[in-house]
């Protein structure tokens, strides 16, 4: 079963806010000058910010903010965030892989930006009963 697609917009201002809230001040997430010197096309989103959006998608699908039992991803491609007011967009989809007798639902998640997958092996297990 395929779950409803969810989209998340991310701008430079969002990256600054996430840096402050998470404590991850790596300059590749806010400084174009630095990002390009280490070979990136420009400022990129924190991988953990992308994972947080996927977490929101998963808890929304599960219908509860405390339903996640297991959650893992591999970061495969950077999310480049342009220096403008609209930023970029991360699109999150998922399919239900398994529903266990113990009331757990296993999801295979896909996250893309500009049509390219930014995560692989993205999986979540959520509690769907009780």
Partner 1 sequence: MPLDQSFVGRTYPPTAPYQVGREKIREFATAIGATDPAHHDPEAARAMGHPDVVAPPTFPVVITMAASRQLIEDPALGIDYSRVVHGDQRFAYSRPVVAGDELVCVNTVEDITSRGGHEFLTTRTDVSTTAGESVVAVWSKLVVRGEA
Counting residues that bind partner 1 (by CB under 8 A) gives 32
Report the distance separating Cα 33 and Cα 92, nearest Å: 30
Q: Which residues contact 77 (CB under 8 A, 6 or more apart)?
A: 113, 116, 117, 118
List 41, 72, 100, 116, residue binding partner 1 (CB under 8 A): 72
CA 109 to chain centre: 10
Interior CA angle at 87 toward 21 and 52, to 5°? 40
Binding marks (x or -) toward partner 1, 11..40, rule CB under 8 A?
Answer: ---x--xx-xxxxx-------------x--
- For partner 1, the binding residues in 37-66 under the rule CB under 8 A are 38, 47-49, 51-53, 55-56, 58-59, 64-66
Count of other CB atoms within 10 angstroms of residue 113: 21
Closer residue to partner 1 (CB): 38 or 102? 38
| Interacting residues toward partner 1 by CB under 8 A | 8, 14, 17-18, 20-24, 38, 47-49, 51-53, 55-56, 58-59, 64-66, 68-75, 121
């Amino acid at each position: 079963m395929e779950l409803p697609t969810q989209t998340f917009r991310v701008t430079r201002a969002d990256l600054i806010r996430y840096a402050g809230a998470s404590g991850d001040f790596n300059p590749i997430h806010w400084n174009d000058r630095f990002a390009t010197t280490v070979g990136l096309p420009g400022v990129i989103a924190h991988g953990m910010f992308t994972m947080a959006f996927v977490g929101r998608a998963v808890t929304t699908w599960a219908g509860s903010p405390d339903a996640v039992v297991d959650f893992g991803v591999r970061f495969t491609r950077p999310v480049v965030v342009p220096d403008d007011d609209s930023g970029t967009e991360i699109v999150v989809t998922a399919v239900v892989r398994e529903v266990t007798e113990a009331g757990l639902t296993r999801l295979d998640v896909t996250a893309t930006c500009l049509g390219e997958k930014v995560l692989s092996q993205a999986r979540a297990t959520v509690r769907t009963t009780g």
